[in-house]
Structure 1
Amino acid sequence: MSHYKNSNSIGGSVNNSNVINNEKVDVIRGLLMNKSEEVLRGNKEIQAIHFKRLLDLSLELLVSSPSNQEYRDLRALSLFSFVNTCLPPNDIAIKQLELANQLAPNIDFIKNRLETLKNDNSKSNSVSSNGNLDKIKISNKFFQLSKEYQKSGDLQLGFQYLKTAYENNQDNSELNLNLSNLYEKQGKFQMSIDLLNRILKKEPFHWEAHYNLAALEHKNSLTEKAIKRLKLIINSNSASENQKHKSHLLLLFYMNFVERYNCDQDKGKSIYEEHLKYYNDKLLKRHHNTIKALQFSKEEIAKYSKQSPIKIAYLSNHFHQHPIAYFIMGLLESHNRQLFDIHIIQIDNGGQDDNFTKRIRGFIKNEKNWIKIPESLISEYPHLLSQSIREKEISIAVSLDMHTEKHAELLVNRIAPIQINYLGYPNSSGIDPSILQYRITDEHADPITTEQPFTETLIRLPKTFLNFDPSHLPPVHQNIKCPFETNGFITFGCYNTLSKIQPCTLTLWKRIQDKLPTCKILIKSPLFILESSCNDYLGTLKDEYHFDISRVILKPYSFDTNSHYLSYSDMDISLDTFPYNGTTTSFDSLYMGVPFITLSGPTHVHSVGKSILNNIPSLSDLIAATNDQYADIAVSLASSPDRLKYLRNNLRSLLSNSPLSNSKQFTLNFEKVYKEIHSKLNNK
């Protein structure tokens, strides 16, 4: 359906014309960026509909203002998209690209494609061996251009060049791998999976394809399948050490999502044993000599124990727009600079610094205290990097990512006498406790009675281990009316990543649907950008879990922040996932006036929802200890319209006045811990 009105009208005021043209620009950009799966796969009928609309609109726009360069560019890109996707005969393609080049001579990839087609036009349709060689050369040229544009952050141009490279050499595994990665970034998971399976059909032991496929399986909630694939890589004789290493890191993380590793029978013990195996098989073997050599001497410890102010370093790959930055912001801003000298160790993986980075930099007054390390160097030169960091004489190093990144490579080489695992990684590090001593949590996420094993000593902060600082959020106004007031039925929703919606979660949600025959369930995921993916997921819900799919709503992610937060007005109640509870999405939900229901369990990941709700007045009754309780709470809350209305209007205030949002007190609690563990240095 069209998103603009009166597209064929050329009358009206200048302002109306501008509004219509702006709407047309948005529609054209959408058509250029978001082709349906049928269009991309070559369904001729669907392609004809898609490109007729695109070409008609872009022509209308150009006719309305022929000298407008933006309109000329959009027309040129529309012609190029038609040629690139539909692959018409060369003479037609050349004619269209000549028009495009005249309209937008500044767009290099159009010019390059035109030259390529003209060079090929004189050749026979039956390609000789020399023709194949020419195609490979052309493919290599466009592949190189694609990599350059991807590196610069221009994924759209990178994608266009990569598609051209792929068309000229479809059997190239590296091209298939790269195109698969770009499809994944666009949310087109099935197309990405198809390309990876194409590689594996030809090369069954292409371990990079297996690794990427495991990541996609996990994103599709097929985590058990992903774990089996990762173990295949880890236990293979032909995979490189680097491939085995990164596969093991992924395995450790994925195990946190699976029910059988987080149930009352296991209590996280299997995950703990896998962490020990990773430490012994990977880290200890690789760093055995330096681990021993880099022990701190008694003289060095004595020097650190007298340090004032105490030097603290926070390590992360995510000092930019990312949940790690959201949750660490209040602490970094509120630190007492007279007592603590704060350092940042930014692991740079090629991402762009943004406004969050700039804001965090503002908290670090001395530029020398900001240490930026290219991620690629950690694997190659961990010992040298660790020694370089030690020269800063940091007393306490806090890893905010741990095994979700490669921090252990630095930490096992002792960058500080006191090392802490906090926030971003939801489990034990498995590292020798004489090297990494502490893990910071709270009494709700990891109660005194926990039977989950950790190599670290647990330090429980008062009230909460999380600090929610909403200053990073746009000024989004709440919809003060609950959806059920308009719809006449309750809408449950979940905006957690699809990988957290495991089979056990869906089984319990089906019980809620059965208990409330008019309710609907809303699920968001990048996967749902394609209609075929929605149909596949609905098919799974119907065939394997027996959902009434007429009462399931699937939506793609909102790529702009405002739209994401406003979309909370579509749900009445959030359903937390398990065993891996939500964190960022849970806070977002509360901030937008939507209460969530959580199921707590015997491990840390299974108890984060409990930690959050125990810190909000009058919400602890939304914590379930059993599956039956979870379903009963959902029914009870759905049957409490007055309470839902009250929470819609007051939850943001309740959150902002809770310990979760008290950055100053949270920081004081943290600093008390730092002073206590620092005072124990002389006892080592």
Structure 2
Amino acid sequence: MMKNYRAAAVEYFDNKNKYKEAVVALFDSGNYAEAQIVARNMTEKFPDCAFAWKALGAILKMLGKTLESIGAMQQAIELDPADAIIYSNLSATLQDINRYREAQMYCLKAIELQPDLAIAYHNLGSVLNNLGRPLDAQAVCLRAIQLKPDFAEAYYNLGNSFNEIGAQPEAQLSYLRAIELMPDSLQAYDNILMGMNYNPDFSISYYKEWAEKYGTLISSRVNRKFTNHNMPKSGDKLKVGFVSGDFRNHAVGLLLENMLGSIKNIELYAYSAHNAEDELTWRIKPYFKKWTAIYDKNDEESAHIIYKDGINILLDLSGHTRFNRLPVFAYKPAPVQASWLGYPASTGVKEIDYFIGDYYTSPKSEESHFNEKIYRFQNSCICLAPPCEAPKVGMLPALRNRFITFGCFNNLAKINDEVIAIWSEILLQIPAARLFLKTKQLGNKNVQDILFKKFNDNGVAEPAKRLILEGASPRAELLASYNKIDIALDPFPYNGGVTGAESVYMGVPILTLKGDRFVSRVGESIANNVGLSKFIAQNKEEYIKKAKDNSLDIAELADLRANLRNISLRSSLFDGARFAKDFENAMADIWMKSF
């Protein structure tokens, strides 16, 4: 019956209620393309009907047509300025294109109109998280839950707000509650799996158990997997497809850009899972033989497009991060599928054949951590373009300051209580030292106060005199801030990736703690690739000792400062042409190993 709704809209051309019935049914069934047609017909027939524009706006959001969606919702508001849900929906759509201040305004208006509208508080919580106000986000998420105790989405939003301040146990409890309430929610699984990477308390086996549950869930939703894949003929170039929502100024985009211009022996295809584009997007688009937007396609449609393109190797660049399209891989649209670059652990997806790492991040001893087979780059598995915004490397700050300044510019989610305890001990053992932390959340005074208290509880007296806390800034300013630190402290268990590479490029060595999984070995890989093996600690005690010992050798730190950028540029960590060759060889090798 569903397939006849479009015809029904014509049959009941003058019946507004029949239009509503058709639009709601099509939307609820996930048939957004058909729903869009009916909703547009409705706005043409009943241009003064707020519901028609409201429905069209919601449908367009689901199709990834964000600007059109905003226009439709604004039209709905003009027609019915007292409908709180329209304001809340508009807020959610504005967040898709990072217009958080406007989104906040519309959330507050929705709450003003309807103080008991739980979804408005939920959307406001998401806005506040993105504005670096996680404590305020917690309060409004709890209000949403109070109004609607079975609101699963509010629980995982609450979990995100805890995660933003490194409160991993509280985050995981929230994520678990979300899954209890909505056991088939892929987003709830994404959140709990991503959260475990930050949490030092979870075992690898526990993570793998949850990842396998996710993989089973998405596989169960696939009625038919693709077979009879395209196989390259002799002399043909391999077709390699990338699926990502991060082809933009994001860690994935930054790590991808440097090699693309040097790829000669394979054909590149991009499948973009997010409609946001920026200057990085425009720079990299020409390197792809074909660029296809799939943010407005469902999983089966997206898989069909990839299959028809004849992709040989399909790479997931997102894992369980936001905007991922892992369910597409469950259709097996390519004969060989792999996960690389965007996620530091097993996806749990049975149809993904390989996880790509290197010999430092993914040693043979850790193959049991993955559902996927491990493929290892000979050198680094990541490569960052030398930042054009970077200033010259400055003089070692300790020569000017007469004290050591440690620093970390990673997301606060990575700075958990264990990290704070170790860093506090470093400050206690080096009484003159300072610690410079810079990240989005630290632009909020309440978050700063929490951090000061945590260091104080670990014995650091008057922490405001020992810590330098700053919020986010443009990349050029961020890179210039490395000229204020002598040694970078890598957090654990979730090491820095782009931040670690940026640090060594700016002449700042990273002190890292070698862990027992990929996410805890990225720092080791970066350090080894630029000759910083003496800055790799095997345990927490050695981490503290190396911080102290290296801080005493000012001459060596000054020498590193003068030479580390040039060393970095000669390594596969920054040499795009060298990395591109490694990548081409890896793709050819993976293909040969698969058949």
Percent identity, aligned pairs only, is: 25
Displacement of 1:150 after TM fit? 5.8
Displacement of 1:142 after TM fit? 5.8
In structure 2, the partner of 1:546 is 459
Displacement of 1:582 after TM fit? 0.8
Q: Is the 8 A contact 2:361 2:518 kept in 1?
A: yes
Match of 2:309 among 387, 392, 401: 392
Displacement of 1:154 after TM fit? 4.6
Match of 1:189 among 134, 153, 158: 134
- 1:201 is aligned to 2:136: no
Q: 1:174-215: per-residue Cα shift (whole Å, max 9, x none)?
A: 322233332222212222221112222232222221111001
CA distance in 2, matches of 1:651, 1:638: 17
Match of 1:439 among 339, 352, 355: 355
Displacement of 1:156 after TM fit? 3.7
The verdict on how the C-alpha distance between 1:458 and 1:167 changes in structure 2, with shifts beyond 3 A counting, is same
**Superposed, which structure 2 residues align to 1:246-265 within 5 Å?**
246-261=187-202
CA distance in 2, matches of 1:496, 1:305: 46
Q: 1:492-536: per-residue Cα shift (whole Å, max 9, x none)?
A: 111111111122212211221221111122222322223232222
Match of 2:220 among 282, 285, 294: 285
> Number of residues paired by the alignment?
517
In structure 2, the partner of 1:331 is 259
- 1:407 is aligned to 2:313: no
The verdict on how the C-alpha distance between 1:382 and 1:322 changes in structure 2, with shifts beyond 3 A counting, is same
**Superposed, which structure 2 residues align to 1:165-180 within 5 Å?**
165-180=110-125
CA distance in 1, matches of 2:165, 2:339: 29
Q: 1:295-327: per-residue Cα shift (whole Å, max 9, x none)?
A: x24xx46x4464712111111111110111111
The verdict on how the C-alpha distance between 1:256 and 1:150 changes in structure 2, with shifts beyond 3 A counting, is closer
Classify the secondary structure of the residue corresponding to 2:435: strand
Q: 1:141-177: per-residue Cα shift (whole Å, max 9, x none)?
A: 7657766766676544444444344334333223222
The verdict on how the C-alpha distance between 1:482 and 1:680 changes in structure 2, with shifts beyond 3 A counting, is closer
Q: 1:232-258: per-residue Cα shift (whole Å, max 9, x none)?
A: 22123xx373xx221111111111112
Q: Is the 8 A contact 1:426 1:604 kept in 2?
A: yes
- 1:163 is aligned to 2:163: no
In structure 2, the partner of 1:676 is 589
The verdict on how the C-alpha distance between 1:427 and 1:168 changes in structure 2, with shifts beyond 3 A counting, is same
CA distance in 2, matches of 1:492, 1:475: 20
Q: 1:418-452: per-residue Cα shift (whole Å, max 9, x none)?
A: 111111111112222xx322121111111233364
CA distance in 2, matches of 1:150, 1:278: 26
In structure 2, the partner of 1:423 is 341
Q: Is the 8 A contact 1:136 1:169 kept in 2?
A: no
**Superposed, which structure 2 residues align to 1:175-574 within 5 Å?**
175-236=120-181, 239=182, 241=184, 244-261=185-202, 266=203, 268-280=204-216, 282-287=217-222, 289-291=223-225, 294=226, 296-297=227-228, 300=229, 303-304=231-232, 306=234, 308-336=236-264, 339-348=265-274, 350-351=275-276, 353-364=277-288, 366=289, 369-374=290-295, 377=297, 381-404=298-321, 405-432=323-350, 435-450=351-366, 452-470=368-386, 472-478=387-393, 480-543=394-457, 545-548=458-461, 549-574=463-488
CA distance in 2, matches of 1:660, 1:522: 25
The verdict on how the C-alpha distance between 1:161 and 1:505 changes in structure 2, with shifts beyond 3 A counting, is closer
Q: CA RMSD in A?
A: 2.5
Classify the secondary structure of the residue corresponding to 1:605: helix
Displacement of 1:552 after TM fit? 3.4
Q: Is the 8 A contact 2:408 2:489 kept in 1?
A: yes
CA distance in 2, matches of 1:150, 1:269: 35
**Superposed, which structure 2 residues align to 1:12-161 within 5 Å?**
137=82, 154-161=99-106
Q: Is the 8 A contact 1:452 1:602 kept in 2?
A: no
- 1:664 is aligned to 2:577: yes
Q: Is the 8 A contact 1:591 1:652 kept in 2?
A: yes
With the length of structure 2 as denominator, give the TM-score of the two structures.
0.81
Classify the secondary structure of the residue corresponding to 1:314: strand
CA distance in 2, matches of 1:649, 1:346: 40
CA distance in 2, matches of 1:323, 1:286: 31
Classify the secondary structure of the residue corresponding to 2:153: helix
CA distance in 2, matches of 1:407, 1:164: 33
Classify the secondary structure of the residue corresponding to 2:389: coil
**Superposed, which structure 2 residues align to 1:617-628 within 5 Å?**
617=531, 619-628=532-541
Q: Is the 8 A contact 1:290 1:383 kept in 2?
A: no
Match of 1:639 among 527, 545, 552: 552
In structure 1, the partner of 2:504 is 590
Displacement of 1:596 after TM fit? 1.0
Classify the secondary structure of the residue corresponding to 1:312: strand
Q: 1:264-314: per-residue Cα shift (whole Å, max 9, x none)?
A: xx4x2221222112212x112222x324xx2x24xx46x446471211111
CA distance in 2, matches of 1:333, 1:559: 29
The verdict on how the C-alpha distance between 1:305 and 1:429 changes in structure 2, with shifts beyond 3 A counting, is farther
In structure 1, the partner of 2:8 is none
CA distance in 2, matches of 1:152, 1:324: 18
In structure 2, the partner of 1:616 is 530
The verdict on how the C-alpha distance between 1:324 and 1:150 changes in structure 2, with shifts beyond 3 A counting, is closer
The verdict on how the C-alpha distance between 1:173 and 1:361 changes in structure 2, with shifts beyond 3 A counting, is same
The verdict on how the C-alpha distance between 1:256 and 1:650 changes in structure 2, with shifts beyond 3 A counting, is same
Displacement of 1:393 after TM fit? 0.6
Q: Is the 8 A contact 1:312 1:396 kept in 2?
A: yes
Classify the secondary structure of the residue corresponding to 2:174: helix
Displacement of 1:382 after TM fit? 1.8
CA distance in 2, matches of 1:601, 1:530: 31
Aligned partner letter, 1:670: F
The verdict on how the C-alpha distance between 1:169 and 1:624 changes in structure 2, with shifts beyond 3 A counting, is same
Q: Gaps (5+ residues) in structure 1?
A: 1-111, 117-134
Displacement of 1:138 after TM fit? 7.1
Q: Is the 8 A contact 1:269 1:452 kept in 2?
A: no
Displacement of 1:624 after TM fit? 0.6
Classify the secondary structure of the residue corresponding to 2:294: strand
CA distance in 1, matches of 2:520, 2:506: 23
Q: Is the 8 A contact 1:139 1:166 kept in 2?
A: yes
Aligned partner letter, 1:427: A
Aligned partner letter, 1:186: L
Displacement of 1:621 after TM fit? 0.6
Classify the secondary structure of the residue corresponding to 2:171: helix
Q: Is the 8 A contact 1:346 1:370 kept in 2?
A: yes
